[in-house]
Amino acid sequence: MTEDLSEREIAHALIASLDLTDLSDNCTQDDIARLCERAASSEGDVAAICIWPRFVSFARERLKPGIRIATVVNFPAGTDDVEATVAETSRAVADGADEIDLVVSYRRIGTDGGFVRDQVARVKEACGNARLKTILETGELSEPALIAAAAREALAGGADFLKTSTGKVAVNATPEAAEILLRAIAEAGGTVGFKPAGGIKTYEDAKAYRDLANRICGDGYATPDRFRLGASGVLADLLAVAGGAARGGARAGY
């Protein structure tokens, strides 16, 4: 059974699945304060804000209750220092992070995939009650077989979400990589979440990923509990569609 929703209803669903993000290198507390305000939008709250670890406690005091705080660890390089990443995770959770977005050591995939599995398991343990999203940097892996291997290792380590990208490299979320991750999730039972990140600019971009997730993992899969969008610039377009307002700029696909 396929859903029968209007564009405005889909836009509201996409807003509710958005991880509103500011991971800019020059981000300030004022920027985070504005992000917290934008997160409680006129058309509904976003799922989470995604910010640098140093701002977690600041945001915790200002963010509307019910909106989650996601933060990044081992970001963006995806180094091999697991102990440092575990310590970073523990600090972030203590500061009030609800979700941890971990950059796995993706360069190990294809040579020592077990390292990534164990890395994810260690960080998952440090998360406690926080949810763990694993960033696989699919654009850097590039090859479908490597992307699929990364997905399997992250799932084996206990990841709660598979996330495509940091948004800090030349190639970020793509439909091709998204399909590989979603098929891995479906084969593992369809309960793990999926988050495309980087390059999502329009309602059409966001909807296409939502449609793909529902097609592969089953109608009703793409709820905020299992489907997120990592983006900073798409909220304005989603608000325009949700509110029935005129939209600026050209519409685009992926």
By CB atoms closer than 10 A (0-12, 13-18, 19+), residue 61 is exposed
> Bridge partners of 50?
21, 70
Write down the catalytic residue from 19, 124, 160, 195.
195
Q: If DSSP codes are grouped into helix, strand and coil, which group holds residue 157?
A: coil
Is the pLDDT assigned to residue 254 strictly greater than 80?
no
Over residues 219-243, mean pLDDT:
97
CB 166 within 8 A of CB 197: yes
pLDDT of residue 246: 80
Confidence of residue 245 (pLDDT cuts 50, 70, 90): confident
> Quick check: is 101 catalytic?
yes
pLDDT of residue 2: 54
Sequence-separated (6 or more) residues with CB below 8 Å from residue 112: none
Using CA atoms, how far apart are residues 11 and 7, in angstroms rounded to an integer?
6
For 7-240, CATH number out of 3.90.380.10, 3.30.1600.10, 3.20.20.70, 3.30.565.10 equals: 3.20.20.70
- Among residues 213, 205, 228, 198, the alpha carbon closest in space to that of 70 is found at 228
Confidence of residue 252 (pLDDT cuts 50, 70, 90): very low
pTM for the predicted model, two decimal places: 0.95
Write down the catalytic residue from 19, 45, 98, 101.
101
CB 219 within 8 A of CB 3: yes
Distances in Å between the Cα of 26 and the Cα atoms of 23, 31, 154, 198 are: 8, 9, 30, 18
Is the pLDDT assigned to residue 250 strictly greater than 60?
no
Kindly report, residue by residue over 153-188, the tens digit of the pLDDT. Answer: 999 999 999 999 999 999 999 999 999 999 999 999
Query: If you compute the radius of gyration of the chain from its CA atoms, what whole number of angstroms results?
Result: 17
Write down the catalytic residue from 19, 124, 133, 163.
163
> Quick check: is 163 catalytic?
yes
Sequence spans of domains, the chain: 7-240
